[in-house]
Amino acid sequence: MSPREGYVTTPDRVRLYFRQEGDGPRVVLVPNGFHFFDDFRPVARGRTLVCFDLRNRGRSDAIADRSRLVRGIEHDVEDLDALRRSFGADIDVIGHSYVGVTAIRYAVRFPARVRRVISIAPMGPDPGRAYGADLANADATLGRVRAQLAALETQRSSLDPEEFCRRFWDVLRVIYVADPADADKVRWGRCDLPNERGFMKHWNENILPSIQAWRPTREQLAVAPAPVLLVHGRKDRSSPHAGGRDWASLLPNTRLLTIENAAHAPWIEARATVLDAIETFLSGSWPEAAEVVERDE
């Protein structure tokens, strides 16, 4: 069966682009995941996999009215539920990076509608927490990339926006993998899309402040009984592995799968391990290597 694509319209009339594979009874939603469609396609076996672009992202509608953006991930959580209603089923959710936080937030807002959550390399529950250089993986690669991006910024005015975006991602993608040889497998830039070229404004003005405003406590998270599998690369420079451990110590029904020789995109660097773990988890069991993290009292 060929993938199906289209749009779901939210209650405030924002069109969200989606792509669907499979027609199984269990629906797995991947928000902000259209560019991960091929990566996670095996999940569709016996299920319905729906990857979609969040509002003001990718092929979804661009939004000029800030009142429909200012709540950041709260809008995204509600949009996730709009997709859930459109596909007519309770859902499993896979979220990556800051959208891993969105997936957890969805489980708190709509606990009766989510069966299982997979949060891959999420930002930690306290975005303001500073980890030591060893825990944050603030290595020479990260320092070099920051210097290269600063130099590139001085050329912005002389470059076509699409060309600037491509050069930006040519530099940035290196920090998302532990092995530089895997950097070319990171194809998240989507520089042909205006929404993606303008994402940093939306991030800085709306999304990041909304994440920073949510400092969940163990008591607040206790209302979300759905099992949560955290998948985190030990060498993650973007969202430190220590943040994944923090989530695992707070959430009531969770385990942490650590991928030792991987960074921010563990399914790229350990594809079989991660996809097998996802399949095991969505089928109803914890992956054998996933650990229970002791709670700090």
The continuous run of DSSP H or E covering 115 comes out as strand 114-120
- Residue 50 φ then ψ, to 5°: -125, 115
Dihedral of the CA atoms 33, 38, 40, 46 (nearest 10)? 120
DSSP string, 35-48: GGTTTTGGGGTTSE
Confidence of residue 296 (pLDDT cuts 50, 70, 90): low
Please give the full DSSP string across 148-213, using - where no structure is assigned. Answer: HHHHHHTTGGGS-HHHHHHHHHHHHGGGG-SSGGGGGG-----TTSHHHHTHHHHIIIIIHHHHHT
Mean pLDDT value of segment 32-60: 94
pLDDT band at 2 (very low <50, low <70, confident <90, very high): low
Cα–Cα dist 153/157, whole Å: 8
Rounded distance, CA 44 to CA 257, Å? 22
Mean pLDDT of the chain: 95
Q: Looking at the chain, list the stretches that DSSP marks H as alpha helix, in order from N- to C-terminal side.
A: 73-87, 98-109, 133-136, 140-153, 161-172, 194-197, 199-202, 208-212, 218-221, 241-250, 266-269, 271-282
207-245 pLDDT tens trace: 999 999 999 999 999 999 999 999 999 999 999 999 999
* 117 beta partners: 93, 228
3-state secondary structure of 113: coil
- The residue whose two tokens read 């937030």 is 105
32-36, 60-64, 113-117, 234-238: range with lowest mean pLDDT: 32-36
Quick check: 297 pLDDT over 60? no
Q: How confident is the model at residue 294 (pLDDT cuts 50, 70, 90)?
A: confident
Q: Domain 4-134+194-282's class?
A: alpha beta
> How far apart are the C-alpha atoms of 76 and 216, rounded to whole Å?
17
For 24, the token pair is 């199984």
Q: Running DSSP on this structure, what letter comes out for residue 293?
A: P
What local confidence, expressed as pLDDT, does residue 1 receive? 52
Q: Please give the Cα distance from 284 to 278 (Å, whole number).
A: 10
- The predicted model gives 243-250 an average pLDDT of 96
Across 152-168, b (16+ Cβ under 10 Å) vs e yields: beeeeeeeeeeebbebb
Domain ranges of the chain: 4-134+194-282
Q: Which of 31-35, 40-44, 144-148, 197-201 has the lowest mean pLDDT?
A: 31-35
